[in-house]
Amino acid sequence: MSNLINNIDLDKIQKTIESGQKDSQFLKKPIKLEGEWNFDTQKGYQFKTELAYEKGKEVIEIDSPSFLGGGGNRLGPMGYCVAGIASCFITTFVSILSSHGIKLNKLRYMQNVTLILPKHLIFQMNLLPKG
């Protein structure tokens, strides 16, 4: 029976630690990403990629928001970045609490992110009038 606290399998983490101490190469976990830009506006996305994980694959279609030239039809690249960073943070946080035997009843996370477009980049792209 596994040592599961807060949906974190501590036995698996311990096994990872022990394997990494024996061979640091075990701690290298490559992620391969290949994608394709879509030129057909009828499809509703700009970029499509397939990511593999331990038990399968996931196809992700990404579309920039309209203010950045996309159609806003899918989650944009910044949304995926923010979700990934938040997931890493929360997973680490819950893992540490779990390793100390702290059981949670509920955990909610809220983050507000403001994208600030760099003026110099927009001006260099000649997308906005200078001024």
3-class DSSP state for residue 19? Answer: helix
Q: Find out whether 36 and 22 touch, Cβ atoms under 8 Å.
A: no
Render each residue's pLDDT in the chain as its tens digit; 131 residues: 789 999 999 999 999 999 999 999 999 998 888 999 999 999 999 999 999 999 999 999 999 999 889 999 999 999 999 999 999 999 999 999 999 999 999 999 998 988 887 776 666 666 555 55
Which residues fall within 8 angstroms of residue 26, CB to CB, at 6 or more apart? 16, 19, 20
Name every residue whose Cβ is closer than 8 Å to that of residue 13 and which is 6 or more positions away in sequence: 95, 99
Rounded to whole angstroms, the Cα distance separating 21 from 12 reads: 14
43 CA to centre of own chain: 23
- In this prediction, residue 117 carries a pLDDT of 78
Q: What is the pLDDT of residue 128?
A: 54
Tell me what pLDDT residue 110 has.
92
Q: What is the pLDDT of residue 129?
A: 57
Could you read off the pLDDT of 28-65 as tens digits, one per residue?
998 888 999 999 999 999 999 999 999 999 999 999 99
Question: For residue 36, what pLDDT is reported?
Answer: 98
Is the domain defined by 4-124 classed in CATH 3.30.300.20?
yes
Handedness of CA 57, 18, 7, 79 (dihedral sign): negative
The residue type found at 79 is: G
pLDDT value of residue 122: 64
